[in-house]
Structure 1
Amino acid sequence: MLAAALLLLTAGCGSETGVKPSSGGQTGETQSGSSGGELTYGLATSPSGLDPNVVPGAVDYRVMRALYDSLVVQMPDQSIKPWLATEWTVSPDGKSYTFKLRKDVKFHDGTPFNAAAVKYNFDRIVNPATKSRFAVTLIGPYESSEVIDDYTVKVNLKSPYSAFLSSLSQAFLGIVSPAAAEKHKDQLAKHPVGTGPFTFAGWTENAAIRLEKNPDYNWAPPIAENAGPARIDKLTFKIIPEEATRIGSVQSGQVSAVETVPPQNLVSLKGDPNVNLLQAESTGIPYTLMLNQQHPPWNELKARKAVQLAIDFEAIVKTLYLGTYSRAWSPLSPSMLGYNASLEQAVKPDIAKANALLDELGWTRGADGIRAKDGKPLTLHYIDGSPNREKRNDIAAMIQQQLKQIGIAVNIELLPDTTNAVMIKGTNDLVGVSNVSGDPDILRSFFHTNAIPTPEKWGHNHTRLSDPQLDQWLEEGLTEQDPAKRAEIYKKVQSYVVDNAYGFPVYVFPYTVAAAKSVRGLKFDSLGYPLFYDVTVKK
């Protein structure tokens, strides 16, 4: 068992984390604006911190990517290219990676980026005192780092880890200044220091985060057109949670661009001559509902299949998202390596069959239409977060009505923080999850035994089921180096999850941005996060 390698994902990343960039960023127009000036970017929520070794959130990532560079970059075609590392070699057993590093890079505090800094970062991530909530999962079966010389570092793994380079490309494994980390300790999240194209200039809580151009920057990854300093002088992230206010602020010109455009606004903004819409598919785990199999009767396949067959996901997605979101058919999004297209259209609503399955299990309808067995009503405790992110609360309400048709009473509980109920106590029967990732190994963090949450550790396997067959395939996918063979392994995993009704895929999240026409060159990385290297703002 690859126990050391089977680290689980932590909460907080469930928003959006792996995406394929849209074709050409901002309508292919990248350099028609002028250098200088300020880009103001409206965020839907406030970041919790800017220490990539520690914090896990997608909104944190959006800011951190402008502050921190990574050893490698994952390109739109999923290939891995040099960034802070100029080249690397992998040992025959797949357990050691030796990186040659750039020699011209400095952190924002003036200290040098070198092999010692890389070792410091990786050792810091796995140090329990750091309390890493996501980077520690990305670094996988990390064992140690060796400084070969000032600009050569050898990273040793306990076991082969096929997602290692993809993981290294993420901002969560971006390189922080060791000097800053030692100086600020656990307050680095509010005093970030990296090597990125922008430097930290200030943070007004729940209002704005201010960054300024790093004038010395000259090492952008090949995903950018501009290798030198950013073209804008200032980048300000404004916190605007209220949807109408956020959309109105870009329409009125108060901000340059805003994220997470609601479906109804996507439709209306298409005709706005002053706004460009940008969109990238979030790859990884699409929004997926998972049944807790520690709670009867959801440990029975027929009961799970009844729920699966009674929910009309097509109607839900069309009704709530007005054609702006795609229906998900698999627990992997379509752009991922190994996506199983054979699952598309494989499961369709069948109320008659759903009723028959519950009849076979001995659940009979009462006068109120709700089924019961041995005097106990058939209920489903559905926990979701609040506020109503991506209309997920509306999904719960529609499912409540649909499952009533087959005699299941759905009790919806909306919580501002679901951690205690879902992660620690496991009081839910049904809960939705999602995660952005650039590698199909993300499935391991949602369906492997080691990802089952307990009071002692967080995890995203909300089926709470230990399935030896899934464990075996997920461990094979973790160590297999051949992409074609990996793809076949993950296709089996996806089919198995759907066939056994472990997870119910709902929608693929599109990361959407509305930008003023004056903004050019805003693009997305391979996970669908915004990149600001090439942005210009027409004056």
Structure 2
Amino acid sequence: MTVLLCACGGNGGSPAGGAADPNATLRFGYTVTPTGLDPHVAPSVIAQTPYLFPLYDRLTQITAGPKLEPMVAKAWTFAPDGRSVTFALRDDVSFHDGTPLRADAVKASLDRALTLPASTVKSQLSMISAVTVVDPLTVRIDTNRSAPDLPYALSATAGSIINPKSIGRPDLDRVPDGSGPYVAESVRLGDGVTYKRAPSYWDPRAIKLAGLEIRGITNDNARLSALRSGEIDAMLSKVGQYDKASSLGPGFAFHSYPAAATYAIFLNTAHPVLDRVKVRQALNYAIDRDALNRAVLAGQCPPNGQPLTQVYQGAGYLPSPPVTYTHDVAKAKQLLAEAGVPDGFEMKMLVAAGLSPQDRMAPVVQAQLAEIGVKVTIDSQDAVQAFAMWKPGTTADAYLQTRTAGPTGAMTLRDSYLLPGRSPGPMPGGFADAVTAAFDAGLSADQVDHTLQTASTLAVEQPPDVFLCALPTQVAYRSGVVGMDSMGQSDFQGVVDLRYVGMTKR
């Protein structure tokens, strides 16, 4: 299978609403602070994506749609058996110090991502068996299985290409060295990053701004107040603040992307009691999803009782799930009795402190589970620390958090449930095989849907989560900001990609 795509970038042309101001600086309010700008060691690479994308190019990128497009690679060719991909590189890409970006840099970066002891992205690239420099502008990546998902995986931060001169530098988390559209001017870990336009960048449509500032403002009210006052120009809006963020009045705009991610209570299926299927089913029946949506989520997170949302219709979503988890306290108590815990049990649930609306969802969930005799202790931790704690061997029984989505149903199920840092306990028998089978390049779309529906069915019948609701990515911004409604990553993840975003002249 051969893929030949234009190398022109994703969102071309002048932004709607007027000509872009090349001297503008965009100030963006994000929900998480920067923990470091090394793309291979961030505790949560997804949470750090907005800070990393302006700095580092990848071989491929996801643009609005979502759509897979070229970036540093101008074309790629799959081997007939799907077990290697050869990438042809652009010849006009340079790192910020002027060093040309060549195949050796791609190899060095991917080898580092795969072998660095502290790497937090190696599992995302686990299909790679070898990276070979064919010539200065050609690199071949061999895989240990048929890997139609490889170009998608390389579009994420795991595929970031680092200047080989800085590969071994211990301060890469504070002094990044990439070839992206912007250069880090000020790095304030725990606060924000200020960027300036990179000189002579190969894709001028990706640098509509002279400067960019991304600030981590974790408090929802503070972030919204900063937007109102003009302290920032745009922000990631959480669903619980929809009523206020969507009605700021003249001079402001709001956009909601399709709901691809989900809120869920991750369950440690390795722990006693939670290793019983009927207990996990009981927890799902105990939740009043409609009440949770009304009380905390401003009606913006519709109930969803399975691992995928309707965005993945035809790619693993179940139009008719085998179990529909309605709010049924009597059914939940019956299942607990059948599981041998008629009086309930105690459960410790991790929650990111100060991360809204999770911190407001937690007591609602706690109260609903108490109705069936399950006593939940809320363990509030720093957001980064909570994510790091959720791994094999964790003492936590559960973790209330977002299940972020991927560009395909197969990648979403794999990354949500087959990576140890996302699901530390065992999955239902047959689940991993069904998900893995979907990566066979020889399958038709219908066959992929069938095997993924098999996986989704197992996950519903033997739930590894307490499924809560379907979560859209939402952004609020001043009317002069353009491109906020067409960011590729926001189509499926609760993050932003500020390439191609600009501001009109005021």
Same fold (TM over 0.5): yes
Of residues 222, 234, 241 in structure 1, which corresponds to 2:218? 241
1:345-404 Cα offsets, whole Å, 9 max, x none, are: 92212222222233444545xxxxxx2xxxxxx323131223242322333322222223
Superposition CA RMSD, Å: 2.6
Of residues 72, 94, 112 in structure 2, which corresponds to 1:84? 72
**Alpha carbons of structure 1 residues 339 and 531: separation in structure 2 relative to 1, 3 Å:** farther
CA distance in 2, matches of 1:247, 1:523: 18
**Alpha carbons of structure 1 residues 153 and 35: separation in structure 2 relative to 1, 3 Å:** same
Match of 2:3 in 1: none
1:427-476 Cα offsets, whole Å, 9 max, x none, are: 2333234234223233234434xx45xxxxxx3224x1253311221221
Corresponding letter in the other structure for 1:45: V
Match of 1:94 in 2: 82
CA contact under 8 A between 2:34 and 2:188: conserved in structure 1?
Answer: no
Match of 2:398 in 1: 430
Of residues 164, 170, 173 in structure 2, which corresponds to 1:186? 170
- The answer on 1:125 being equivalent to 2:125 is no
Match of 1:12 in 2: none
- Higher RCO structure (Cα 8 Å, ≥6 apart): 1
**Alpha carbons of structure 1 residues 325 and 30: separation in structure 2 relative to 1, 3 Å:** farther
CA contact under 8 A between 1:138 and 1:173: conserved in structure 2?
Answer: no
CA distance in 2, matches of 1:360, 1:145: 52
**Alpha carbons of structure 1 residues 241 and 308: separation in structure 2 relative to 1, 3 Å:** closer
Match of 1:394 in 2: 360
- The answer on 1:208 being equivalent to 2:192 is yes
Q: Offset at 1:234?
A: 0.8
1:252-295 Cα offsets, whole Å, 9 max, x none, are: 112211223452354454242122113334635x2222333333
CA contact under 8 A between 1:231 and 1:535: conserved in structure 2?
Answer: yes
The equivalences for 1:277-292 within 5 A come to: 277-281=254-258, 283=260, 286-292=262-268
Match of 1:275 in 2: 252
CA contact under 8 A between 1:86 and 1:101: conserved in structure 2?
Answer: yes
CA distance in 2, matches of 1:430, 1:534: 37
Corresponding letter in the other structure for 1:460: R
Corresponding letter in the other structure for 1:147: V
CA contact under 8 A between 2:390 and 2:422: conserved in structure 1?
Answer: no
Q: Offset at 1:233?
A: 0.7
**Alpha carbons of structure 1 residues 228 and 445: separation in structure 2 relative to 1, 3 Å:** closer
CA distance in 2, matches of 1:362, 1:202: 57
User: Percent identity between the aligned chains?
Assistant: 23
1:296-343 Cα offsets, whole Å, 9 max, x none, are: 333333222222212112221222111123333321233233322333
CA distance in 2, matches of 1:481, 1:501: 30
Deviates more, 1:515-524 or 1:245-254: 515-524
Of residues 451, 459, 464 in structure 2, which corresponds to 1:502? 464
Q: Offset at 1:91?
A: 0.7
CA distance in 2, matches of 1:139, 1:196: 21
CA contact under 8 A between 2:33 and 2:190: conserved in structure 1?
Answer: yes
Instruction: Please report the TM-score for the alignment, with normalisation by the length of structure 2.
Output: 0.87
CA distance in 2, matches of 1:238, 1:361: 48
Match of 1:41 in 2: 28
Match of 2:374 in 1: 408
* Partner SS state of residue 450, structure 2: helix
CA distance in 1, matches of 2:458, 2:89: 42
Of residues 335, 348, 351 in structure 2, which corresponds to 1:385? 351
Q: Offset at 1:103?
A: 0.7
- The answer on 1:349 being equivalent to 2:327 is yes
Corresponding letter in the other structure for 1:536: M
CA distance in 1, matches of 2:426, 2:157: 31
Match of 1:14 in 2: none
CA distance in 2, matches of 1:77, 1:487: 20
Structure 1: gaps spanning 5 or more residues: 1-23, 220-226, 365-370, 372-377, 453-458
**Alpha carbons of structure 1 residues 394 and 44: separation in structure 2 relative to 1, 3 Å:** closer
Deviates more, 1:239-248 or 1:308-317: 239-248
Match of 2:299 in 1: 323
**Alpha carbons of structure 1 residues 52 and 266: separation in structure 2 relative to 1, 3 Å:** farther
CA distance in 1, matches of 2:428, 2:110: 31
Q: Offset at 1:79?
A: 4.2
Match of 2:129 in 1: 143
Match of 1:58 in 2: 46
Match of 2:55 in 1: 67
CA distance in 2, matches of 1:212, 1:530: 16
Q: Offset at 1:111?
A: 0.3
**Alpha carbons of structure 1 residues 120 and 521: separation in structure 2 relative to 1, 3 Å:** same
**Alpha carbons of structure 1 residues 159 and 394: separation in structure 2 relative to 1, 3 Å:** same
CA distance in 2, matches of 1:60, 1:421: 17
CA contact under 8 A between 1:379 and 1:411: conserved in structure 2?
Answer: no
Q: Offset at 1:504?
A: 2.2
CA contact under 8 A between 2:35 and 2:190: conserved in structure 1?
Answer: no
* Partner SS state of residue 51, structure 1: coil
Match of 1:527 in 2: 489
CA contact under 8 A between 1:167 and 1:438: conserved in structure 2?
Answer: no
**Alpha carbons of structure 1 residues 67 and 420: separation in structure 2 relative to 1, 3 Å:** closer
**Alpha carbons of structure 1 residues 43 and 76: separation in structure 2 relative to 1, 3 Å:** closer
CA distance in 1, matches of 2:255, 2:129: 40
Instruction: Please report the TM-score for the alignment, with normalisation by the length of structure 1.
Output: 0.82
Structure 2: gaps spanning 5 or more residues: 1-10, 491-495
CA distance in 1, matches of 2:188, 2:416: 35
